[in-house]
Amino acid sequence: MVARYTNTYLDALAFSTVQNLRSVPLLAFVLAIAGFVAWSNLPDDATGLVKAGTFSLMALLIFVALMALQLLFNAYWFAANKDKNFFTEHNVELTETTFIASTAHTRVEIKWAGVFAVRRAFNRLFVFEGPTRAHCIPARAFSLRPEFAAFANRAREYWHRAS
């Protein structure tokens, strides 16, 4: 199976969002900061269930705000760095043994057993070479939604079979 597409700025943001949501250390760090800030700003007169509810709501809001700031930083980073290997035409091919991705600048062949993870999110398929590097294949690379689903299912099938 073959897919051809050009990545966009939204693909870059989708990738960074998936990375942020998969990063347990980042989520734990942000949650710890949110908890600390919420705890240190609790009203002194709050007790019991009111104190727990206030803490939970404050921690949640701070967590969401910090994650939004992280996403804004990622947006700035992608806009400022314009990776010519990411924002170019890609050709991706799935074979029973290998994932092949090529651009005008690179060619990558990975045996399915060497693929770190295969995830589907935000109308994109992410084939991870490692914990922080992935190939982002958007659904728009296919004329029909079922074609994208078949491509994603085939990639997962090959990966699971090799794992």
Give me the residue spans of the domains in the chain. 2-7+84-162, 10-81
Please name the residue ranges forming H helices in 8-144.
9-22, 24-40, 48-81
**Contact between residue 39 and residue 55 where contact means Cβ atoms under 8 Å apart:** yes
Position 127 scores a pLDDT of 96
How far apart are alpha carbons 92 and 71 in whole angstroms?
A: 27
Position 43 scores a pLDDT of 83
Structure tokens at 45: 């007169």
- pTM for this predicted structure: 0.78
Length of the chain: 163
Q: Where is pLDDT greater, at 156 or 130?
A: 156
How far apart are alpha carbons 5 and 129 in whole angstroms?
A: 19
pLDDT in tens, 11-64: 888 888 888 888 899 999 999 999 999 989 888 887 888 888 999 999 999 999
Position 12 scores a pLDDT of 87
Position 49 scores a pLDDT of 86
pLDDT in tens, 80-131: 887 888 889 999 999 999 999 999 999 999 999 999 999 999 999 999 998 8
Instruction: Give the three-class secondary structure for 120.
Output: strand
What's the fold here for domain 2-7+84-162? PH-domain like (2.30.29)
Position 2 scores a pLDDT of 93
The answer on pLDDT for 143 being more than 90 is yes
Structure tokens at 2: 């073959």
Position 65 scores a pLDDT of 96
Our separate counts of H helices and E strands in the chain read: 4, 7
